[in-house]
Structure 1
């Protein structure tokens, strides 16, 4: 291809081994735009790239073993390019079939812009989108927090890059993220004009990498330089603002204001001067935080929330400390989710509300975030009788201090609130009760999804994690005594957890192998719940107890210990058999339920009567009022 025929040069950067570069290169070759070249700059220590290019056999691809250093890499790509426009693409990205064509057409039509960006979809260790549509003032505001433009989404006018003075002051270290962030900030400070396309035309799989030791220092240095620029822009527009800026700087220098707070105050001041006149976006930005999406009640409840939120009103992000759990596959497509590592490195949003959806580590994390967001903490269990969260704090006072940083503390039962006060005192933060969501129609539908086999014996069912608080070992000893006294029954235990091996040993010790089955975690347990004769829930401590609500929806006779959630759901025993947290009471009540069909039928009718309280729309309306 002759030099004059090339319109666009794609600089394809191989950063390390293990990146599947053939997918990115092939996505370029499938582009609708013709007359382009691909310059492969290989920074890896492998010959794998050469083999891939040889297999592709396309003369538009040129291979160069690249030098190290970000600025050198960038300059090398520019010097080797033949096109009028240059697009940089990293090897963990693929592009849509019309990305280059759309960006090329944009720059041909918008002669004042030096480059144009698109939106980016990220996946694997995160699933979120970076928008490609920013006004110039919005872009400046967003970059104060972190880079809102991903370099693989950009196409540059080569003439703009040629006149740009690549200084070396900000470009230090080997971390490509901090260097690209510095480069973009430097371009904006030198009046580079960045256009945008609102479409998501790049898909990127972020690899897990350990940041350089001085990564945070690099970012802080870049942001300090940029804040000086922002402050000067504010003063140019409004000279009276200089006193306010100097006051912030003095507080920072006297260590009365940390750097993140200084950054936030100057950003807010810039927004008030340059963006305030713009009509506010209608969607509220909400961040939910939870350690993972394992098979617990809180995790399941979060998914129910996310399934029922109105996404025309809310923009939802989900932060997971670990990419783990059976409910990962159930995250709605409208939700952007992140693991902690990528959230701290790449997140760019200022949220309206940040929600710690579970006690303990999530509460501590959200409490200590220095943002302007309203903060909500959710308490989902009886922290007086089961203070499991103490392991996350050095002492009780630190846990109290975290709760004091919240604007609201929300409880999923009436009784968890006074138990919370017994443990922590009456913390002066707004407190209210918001019941869990129970989707009755979905539960009934799922209960008919498949059928389960059972014998002619009375069948009991338990659902919950195999953890100490569920007290399955106590229940097994009760069943052992019932069997020794001649009663016939069968028990399904649905759930997984750390006590499986111990419970299996107890089952063998009590000769209950023919009476009890540990079914493990079940993605849809409702056919088992529908098929049982009695639902048994004998926890030592409990919050709302979603499984009790689900059993009520299916009209099951229920035996539960008198913990806070089941007590409320069964109205102190009016709609089910509620017993003390006592071995003998559990034994007597279970014996009566196994032998008395009339009692089971009566409790089944009462459960169906009680199920009318689960009005999903009414409870969802209450939740959306809180988030609004």
Structure 2
């Protein structure tokens, strides 16, 4: 019996936390026992945790306040494999390794391409690069979510190539379909196809710099001069006030809605006409996978992870990161050229990222490391 323990800061709703919960729920239990340590056990995914996993709440919020408790719990649980899920936590765990009594294997899951994700970190890229190069080669394995992330990780950390494994993020297709079929009363989304007043684009993600919604709004303003449409952005974050002002400045008040966070974005996505992603960087964009799972055509910036999802452009239009005019043109073309049968084609592509397949890949790695 092999004991595998995941460590995550919280279950507040980020993509990395959601993936951990999905893995805990779907990984085959034959000859393994699963556990979770959360720095702070809070967030919407707590209620989704499986009953047969050992759950530990350290009751802290910051990595530096968790060191003693983390060592104590890991030494009590004595796992064979520890899986850490986010950059700062990953480095801390590797630094603590000499204090872990049963010498577990340490597997890191990188949530974003580090050279991009660390740019705004305190101390800058140089400090984090030093820490990565000091500690990451000590990991037994590092999971990258895409080809681009693996390349970035190799360059950033200078760790051995044979220690990096690529495992894509999962999509829970059946769960998405169930939520997509739930009722939704939104005036822009009541009809679809010929009966709809205007086509609706949708984008989903936190209102933060990384998602580059400024560019999306400017591109959308150019697009609607050629093809009338509406845009719904699902998500909450610190840029709401700024984006609200930009919507007004661009004269888009009757065409764009910042709809906030919703626990069920799939009901919106399934009723929209086009998914648009404008991110400056990603690791493996879950929401793009989910757009395919509900059958949406997609336009996305070609940041890390997107070529893996869209198969280098076969399942959606990719435009250069930051290319405002190209994004506007891609939105116009996608709205004008809706292809018959595209929904089935997109859903078929999403099956390549089914949770059962991805959970099997994690199980294989974690039981053999």
TM-score (normalised: structure 2): 0.85
State the secondary structure of the residue aligned to 1:363.
helix
| Cα drift, residue 607 of structure 1 | 1.4
Per the alignment, do residues 354 and 489 of structure 1 end up closer, same or farther by CA in structure 2, a change over 3 Å counting? Answer: same
CA distance in 2, matches of 1:600, 1:492: 22
The alignment yields a C-alpha RMSD, in angstroms, of 2.3
Residues 82-104 of structure 1: CA deviation (Å, up to 9, x unaligned): xxxxxxxxxxxxxxxxxxxxxxx
- Of residues 58, 77, 85, the one that matches 1:349 is 77
CA distance in 1, matches of 2:235, 2:350: 24
Per the alignment, do residues 496 and 324 of structure 1 end up closer, same or farther by CA in structure 2, a change over 3 Å counting? Answer: farther
After TM superposition, the structure 1 = structure 2 runs for residues 5-84 of structure 1, keeping only pairs within 5 Å, are: none
Map of 2:215 onto structure 1: 474
Map of 1:527 onto structure 2: 267
CA distance in 2, matches of 1:470, 1:307: 29
After TM superposition, the structure 1 = structure 2 runs for residues 102-181 of structure 1, keeping only pairs within 5 Å, are: none
CA distance in 1, matches of 2:214, 2:358: 35
> Does the Cα contact within 8 Å between 1:409 and 1:429 map onto a contact in 2?
no
Structure with more contact order per residue of length (Cα contacts < 8 Å, sep ≥ 6): 2
| Cα drift, residue 392 of structure 1 | 7.7
CA distance in 2, matches of 1:409, 1:340: 27
| Cα drift, residue 428 of structure 1 | 6.4
Map of 2:9 onto structure 1: 291
Count residues in correspondence: 342
Per the alignment, do residues 390 and 401 of structure 1 end up closer, same or farther by CA in structure 2, a change over 3 Å counting? Answer: farther
> Does the Cα contact within 8 Å between 1:452 and 1:528 map onto a contact in 2?
no
After TM superposition, the structure 1 = structure 2 runs for residues 149-228 of structure 1, keeping only pairs within 5 Å, are: none
Per the alignment, do residues 361 and 384 of structure 1 end up closer, same or farther by CA in structure 2, a change over 3 Å counting? Answer: closer
State whether structure 2 residue 81 is matched by structure 1 residue 363: no
After TM superposition, the structure 1 = structure 2 runs for residues 570-585 of structure 1, keeping only pairs within 5 Å, are: 570-581=310-321, 582-585=323-326
After TM superposition, the structure 1 = structure 2 runs for residues 72-471 of structure 1, keeping only pairs within 5 Å, are: 282=1, 284-311=2-29, 313-335=31-53, 336-339=55-58, 341=60, 343-344=69-70, 347=73, 348-358=76-86, 360-369=87-96, 370-371=99-100, 372-388=103-119, 390-391=121-122, 394-427=127-160, 430-455=163-188, 456-471=197-212
> Does the Cα contact within 8 Å between 1:361 and 1:392 map onto a contact in 2?
no
Question: Runs of 5+ in structure 1 lacking a partner?
Answer: 1-281
State the secondary structure of the residue aligned to 1:368.
helix
Map of 1:553 onto structure 2: 293
| Cα drift, residue 312 of structure 1 | 5.3
State the secondary structure of the residue aligned to 2:300.
strand
CA distance in 2, matches of 1:487, 1:615: 35
Residues 50-102 of structure 1: CA deviation (Å, up to 9, x unaligned): xxxxxxxxxxxxxxxxxxxxxxxxxxxxxxxxxxxxxxxxxxxxxxxxxxxxx
Per the alignment, do residues 572 and 374 of structure 1 end up closer, same or farther by CA in structure 2, a change over 3 Å counting? Answer: same
State the secondary structure of the residue aligned to 1:496.
coil
TM-score (normalised: structure 1): 0.51
> Does the Cα contact within 8 Å between 2:171 and 2:350 map onto a contact in 1?
no
Map of 1:487 onto structure 2: 227
